[in-house]
Amino acid sequence: MSAVLNNFLKYISFDTQSREDMEAVPSTEKQRLLARELAAQLQAMKAENVMVDEHCYVYATIPATTEKAVPVLGFIAHMDTAPAYSGEGVKPQIVENYDGGDILMNKDTGLVMKPQDFPDLLKYKGQDIITTDGTTLLGADDKAGVAEIMAMAEHLLAHPEIPHGTIRIGFTPDEEVGRGADFFDVKCFGADVAYTVDGGGLGELEYENFNAASARVLVHGSSIHPGSSKGRMKNALLMAMEFHNMLPAAENPMYTEGYEGFYHLDSMRGTVEEARMDYIIRDHSKEKFEEKKAFMERVTEYLNSRYHAGTVELLLKDSYYNMKEKIQPHMYLIDVAKASMEEIGIEPKVTPIRGGTDGARLSYEGLPCPNLCTGGYNYHGKFEFIPVQSMEKVVELLLKIIEKFTERE
């Protein structure tokens, strides 16, 4: 079994699901168990400056093996899995030498993953594919990235004859709930530049991401017995529906792709008396992003003028911004990654992230940090999968990037 596969299977056995309703970092204490495991492994490998801080961030150093002046290079991945689907008791299965047909994921439930629904499967015919049994997510987002960085570290520390500069490693909690960079100590990390290893299919390379905000809509109604409510009841649920129906119907994630932004209703709950809706707002264009927030404010003003002031409350909070403007002065990061991919037989696919990474926020904190692929697909759900050979190729990619950084003048 390869080092990266062994690592991955170990890490997905830890339930590290984060929680959106908790303000603390980490949002779940169980993330600390994986953090301690990673620190112990790094110490056993003889990495230096290994630490787990009070907020569950893991840091470590692979010391330089060359006297040449080389920028300090960082690699970052996150330990938590998404709140959207259970990460407890993951039961992985490896489909060896995939034949291109349907994959029976669970004999008891009859759950099948079909290439007609997930055509990316066909790219990996003849390879070994890891799936779940359909009762949990797999956790490749981002334990594949963690496993790949750890396999890279193990290789370099076991081969001090390989010349390279100082390498810094960072593993973060709570990325999936937008707080992965909240307490990341950029100064302590000490890298000049870095990559997150948190992307999708093999070859993905990303330095553009959404501008992101959250929006909470609170609607205050008035509940009165329906038998005597004429002219007096104000149904918060109906007013919430009215709010939602005023948003552009086509600007919904199910109708968008590429650079197109959206409003996404993530949750809705309530009664006649009170209702609440939670949205995420996304757009690659800063101008369109600001327009989306302003539009929600106008809808709020309109409904308050129609019903009465204070009926609808809108709480907007920016989450992160498009890192493109922070990466553009450091485009050699993209050039090095592309050249590294091409040299080891990976076709680079430079695409915008329809989401975000810790690297987006870290780029705004002074650490330019584009995103590399992990090899996985269908994140945050039961049909998640990752080819073993893709993980092994990403390890090779990380080593090649380090080699090219060392060779740069």
* Binding-site entries: 78, 141, 176, 198, 380
- Asked about 175 being catalytic, the answer comes back as yes
CB 91 within 8 A of CB 131: no
- Residue list for the binding site for Zn(2+): 78, 141, 176, 198, 380
Helices in 132-215 by DSSP H: which ranges?
Answer: 140-158, 186-189
Phi/psi at 84 (5° precision): -65, -25
Nearest to 167 by CA among 406, 407, 367: 406
User: Tokens 């922070």 label which residue?
Assistant: 326
Name the active-site residue from 154, 174, 175, 251.
175
Name the active-site residue from 15, 80, 174, 251.
80
- For 41-140, strand residue ranges (E) read 48-52, 58-62, 73-78, 93-95, 103-106, 111-113, 129-131
Distances (CA, A) of 127 to 111, 113, 386: 21, 16, 10
Stated as kind and residue range, the H or E segment containing 216 is strand 211-220
Nearest to 90 by CA among 150, 134, 147: 134
Query: From CA 347, how far away is CA 326, in angstroms rounded?
Result: 25
Query: From CA 329, how far away is CA 332, in angstroms rounded?
Result: 8
Q: Which residues are catalytic?
A: 80, 175
